[in-house]
Structure 1
Amino acid sequence: MASSSSSFRILCILLLCCSIAFGSDPSPLQDLCVADTTSPVMVNGFVCKDPKLVQKNDFFFSGLHLVGNTSNAVGSRVTPVAVAQIPGLNTLGISLARVDYAPWGINPPHTHPRATEILTVIEGTLQVGFVTSNPENRLFMKVLQKGDVFVFPEGLIHFQRNVGYGNAVAIAALSSQNPGVITIANAVFGSEPAIPSDLLAKAFQVDGKIIDQIQSKF
């Protein structure tokens, strides 16, 4: 009986280890898997290009030294460097972006559904923050100076605002080759087709005319 009980405990431990192993993202099984964006095959990510056709430029991007055009409604510009820009990032689980901010420009509240973000301020002063999930909806907010770093956990709504008097620049590193972005205002008020205005009026507890006015801007 003792032997049977001991064997059962060992089996439980092995099953637990297996569940932990299968619960994490798989590691690449080859040195590289450069994205073949022309392939008609649909997979979770991109099909690998024939290794014999891979070139050095599949791992290269030039342009992060260029200032982004912030002449828009929010006063910021994101320059992404993900798998769409560097096919060699396919299966590697990383990407980055440059974010430029005009004085008092914002990177509006948004989420990355597939990535945690770590933001480093290169120039200027940024007010940054994120909000935890329901029901707490706790806000963590801080003012960052040049050289400061802040982390936005995966999937949580976060934002940045330039609170200095000059332009600001930040570099964001993300834990996905294709982190995705959902800008809250665009998604809620600019969906196609539009979310019914009476539904949004009830959700935001405002008059329907206000919702119509906001939707007209998106």
Structure 2
Amino acid sequence: MGFEYNLKGLIVEFVKGDIRDENLVNEVISGASGVFHLVALVRVPESLLKIRECIEINTIGTINILEAAKNNSNCKVILSPSAANYGNNPVLPKVETMFAEPMTPYAITKLDGEYYLKMYLDQYQVQTASLRYFNVFGPRQNPESAYATAVPIFINNALKNVPITIYGDGLQTRDFIYVKDVVKANILASQKANKTYNVVLGYSTSVLELAQKIIKITYSKSGIRFLEERAATLNILRQS
């Protein structure tokens, strides 16, 4: 998660509210030509503890957006589902047509969103696209956030010369994609056909290799600490 001050100087309007508020969603989307839908309860462990809330935010919230888009003419919805849809399926490369094996409420609700997008396209002609993000990183990510991913946490620890924690043996692989490339993918998806796309670099890196590279680049004195693998960790989350 980021901060509003990162957008200082840009011409944007913030409307603070809840995606579960159907009236507010309709009001905000009224007159829009497109919606980049990034709202979610995104933390996997949290989704396991808050299943009902995860469904309300990720699934019902997405339906609220689709309903609002249906009430507008030519309002395309670009959803940001997740590579978590693939689960621990070892088949590589990950392609959009392969069978989904979601393992958590987060992943299940993200896949639900894709199905609802297709339904609204088929039934109501709402233009849609789904972008399955892999592991997004970039400047100004908050390492202290509950939603922080490996890259900002590892960099923050390395700069402080404190141990970097890896859950499991570190051989889990990830496909890390730079945030500017994700932005480009969203813009292209808003202009292209109604499909589902993987948003990836196309190159896999193990979590251990990532930690070692960050330690080397930052000239850090950090060690690496291995802890027991957490529940619902995806061991293979890469595209190729």
Question: What TM bracket, shorter-length normalisation?
Answer: under 0.3
Q: Structure 1-normalised TM-score? A: 0.24
Give the number of the structure whose residues are more often strand, by fraction: 1
- TM-score when scaled to structure 2? 0.23
| Higher RCO (CA-CA < 8 Å; seq separation 6+) | 2
Normalized per residue, the structure richer in helix is: 2
